[in-house]
Each structure stands twice: as structure tokens, then as C-alpha cells.
Amino acid sequence: MPGQGGGNKEKQKFVYLDNSYHGDTVGSVSVGGIDLFHRLYKPLLFDGYKVPSPYCYRCPMGKEKGSCGMACLEPLEELLAARGREIASLIIEPLVQGAAGMITSPPGYLKRVREICTSYNVLMIADEVAVGFGRTGKMFACEEEGVAPDIMCLAKGITGGYLPLGATLTTDEIFEAFLGSHEEQKTFYHGHTYTGNPLAGAAALANLEIFDKKQVITGLQPKIELLTKGLATFYALPWVGEIRQKGMMIGIELVQNKATKEPFPFALNIGHRVTLEARKRGLITRPLGNVIVLMPILSMSEEELTEVLDITYTSIKAVCADIVGKGLVTG
């Protein structure tokens, strides 16, 4: 393995988090932790090690948020202590597990993951495809906790969403492992059909120039504060179990019983019902099961963001009250 592993060929395994999502190729599905998405492909996948995710609202360790001491990290450290010699890397979505329903990690979690990886000579891969380029309030989510990954995966926001483009950043140590004379054949030979697409590259450069000249990240802060303040009012609704926000990424988890955290039955398709109601009111958003996802574009005005919140609130209230009124749930 290049980089920290120093060419150790025993290091061939990957660690990934429960509830994680990293893409749809065989390799990325192999390190995906959402059973609903990935179980069908199990016969095709390579084996890795799955560890708990920091889903504080429904803690996999049975702990209470705020007093758990981040117990969900204990299985990771135990795994690396026992199997570190065969583990090449850990892959993680920094701060927010998007496809899982906007699961946000507690403060200090990401930094501790970095420390554990370093302690056991395991590379850390940060999948910033969804969280990068301002989504969490920083240019990159890793900046939030001063973390420098060994490999960073980028896409989506790199072009402002106008054209598909991906990029992989590495440390100098990993990059230099692929350098050498022609005879050594150390080149990374395979690639994608659209690698180096000049039009996508031009879109990315233009987007980066906008980030710089218009100080996009600085301009996000009052918008994030507006969202935080507005979202706090959602807790008045008896069906809002938890609101998870990191910058411009929001997940509103709906439950039929707030005290017990009992979810709405899957058959009711509550998230879809809410998004259809929102669409009638002029807002297009999406659900992830019982979680309503809001990912407003960075250039939205404060007035537009207020409208997004108002429509979402009204739509949740209308749909859930209707379901309870019809006796479909006991809420």
C-alpha cells in the first residue's frame, strides 16, 4: 500500500461505516453500509469491515446523546488494534452521512477517527462528494475539525452542479508512490471515459473563481443562522423527532411518537407524502424514508430560504395531521 502503509501488501482490507454511501460501482458499493441499497449486490462485492455510525438519535450502542463518550468509536479502535496489519484504509463521509438521512456526527468525532487511523497506520479516505464545496459551511467538511485526510474524493459541487466532474486529492506521499521511470510501470493506468473532460474542467475553474471572488463561504454564515433559527420552530410539531443540520445540509426525521421515537410505518411512505404536498406549494425536495431532506442551493437568498422553511413546515403539519385524523397511526 502506498503512503503510510509503506508498500505493505498485507494491507488489502477497507473499513466503512454503517449507514454509509459512497457510490454505485462494485468497489464503492463494497464499502457501502445501507442494507436497503446494497444487499442485492452482496455476491459481487469484496469483503470489508463495517463499524457503527454516529447515529446519535438512534444510538447503535444504546447510549444517550451527550453522555456517551462517543462509544460508537470503540468498535473501530478495537478493530484496528486487532486487524490493523491487514487494513489499508477507512472511508468516511465527514460530518454528514447524506444518503442515510443526513446523519450528523457529534463534535470531535471526525478528529478522533483521524487520530485512530494515524495510530494504527491506516489511511483515511474522506468522501466529500456530497459535503464538499460549502455544503457544511466550510469549503470542505474536514476543515470543521482541522482534519487532513490522506485521500479526498470530490465531485458535485466542484462544478456548481453544471457538469459531472470528479477529482481525487492525495498526500504527496501517496502521489509519489506512483512516480517512477517508464520501465517501472508504476503509472495508474486505468481511468474513466470522460477523464480530463475540458468542458467540465472549465466549469470547475469558473466555479472556483466565483467561490473566491464572491466570498461564497463567508456569505453562507447568515443563511445558515437563519436556517438554524427557523428549524428550531419545527420542534413544535408533534411528529418532528429530530432535526439534523450541518450548514446547508438538513434532515428532518419524522416519527409517529416523539416520546418513544417510534417511526411511521414504512408502508405509509410518509416522507414521499410530505414532498408531494410541498411540491403543490411550490417546493421540490426529496425524502429518505421518514426523513425530509433539505439541501438548498448556496446562492439562495434569505427570503427564498424562509419560503423553503415555511413550505416544509406547513407540508409536514398538513400531511401528518391528516394521517392521524384518518386513524392510520396513533400519533
Q: What is the pLDDT of residue 31?
A: 97
β-bridge pairing 240-246 and 249-257: antiparallel
Q: Among 72-81, 126-135, 318-327, which stretch is predicted with the lowest mean pLDDT?
A: 318-327
The pLDDT of residue 1 is above 60 = no
Give the closest residue to 28 by CA, choosing from 111, 130, 161, 137: 130
Q: What pLDDT digit, counting tens, does each position of 179-232 carry?
A: 999 999 888 888 888 888 999 999 999 999 999 999 999 999 999 999 999 999
Percentage of residues in the chain having pLDDT higher than 70: 98
Identify which has the larger pLDDT, 186 or 84. Answer: 84
User: How many angstroms separate the CA atoms of 244 and 169, rounded?
Assistant: 28
C-alpha cell at 187: 503509472
User: How many whole angstroms separate alpha carbon 283 and alpha carbon 241?
Assistant: 22
pLDDT (0 to 100) of residue 7: 60
Q: Is residue 8's pLDDT more than 80?
A: no
163-192 average pLDDT score: 91
What pLDDT, on a 0 to 100 scale, did the predictor assign at position 6?
45
Q: How far apart are CA 171 and CA 310, in angstroms?
A: 44
- Which three cell numbers, joined as nine digits, stand for 113? 477517527
Give pLDDT, residue 3: 38
Residues 77-86 have a mean pLDDT of 97
Task: Give the DSSP H/E element, type plus range, for residue 123.
Answer: strand 123-127
| Rounded average pLDDT over 230-252 | 98
Please write the tens of the pLDDT for every residue from 36-63: 899 999 999 999 999 999 999 999 999 9
166 pLDDT tier (thresholds 50, 70, 90): very high
Q: Grid coordinates standing for 72?
A: 460508537
Report the alpha-carbon distance of residue 190 to residue 87 in Å, rounded: 23
Go through 180-214 and write b for each residue having 16 or more CB atoms within 10 A of its CB, e for each that does not: eeeeeeeeeeeeeeeeeeeebeebbeebeeebeee
Q: Which helix (H) or strand (E) holds 15?
A: strand 13-17
Whether pLDDT at 275 is above 70: yes
Q: Alpha carbon of 228 to those of 140, 233, 251, 306, 309: distances in Å?
A: 20, 9, 12, 11, 10
List of residues 6+ apart from 95 with CB closer than 8 A: 104, 105, 110, 131, 136, 141, 144, 246
Contact of 247 with 137, CB cutoff 8 Å: yes
Provide the pLDDT for residue 132. Answer: 98
Measure the CA–CA gap between 226 and 27, rounded to whole angstroms: 39
Q: In this structure, which amino acid lies at residue 59?
A: C
Q: What percent of the chain has pLDDT over 90?
A: 88
Longest dimension (CA), the chain: 74
Give the distance from CA 88 to its chain's centroid: 22
Q: Which region among 99-103, 138-142, 193-197 has the lowest average model confidence (pLDDT)?
A: 193-197
Question: pTM score, two decimals?
Answer: 0.94
pLDDT band (50, 70, 90) for residue 330? confident
Residues in the chain: 331
**Nearest to 17, CA basis, from 133, 84, 96:** 96
Cα gap 231→228, rounded to integer Å: 5
Q: Which helix (H) or strand (E) holds 30?
A: helix 26-30
Q: What is the pLDDT confidence band of residue 163, given thresholds at 50, 70 and 90? A: very high
Count Cα neighbours of 323 within 13 Å in the Cβ-side half-sphere: 25
Three-state secondary structure of 154-187: ECHHHHCCCCCCCEEEECHHHHHCCCCCHHHCCC
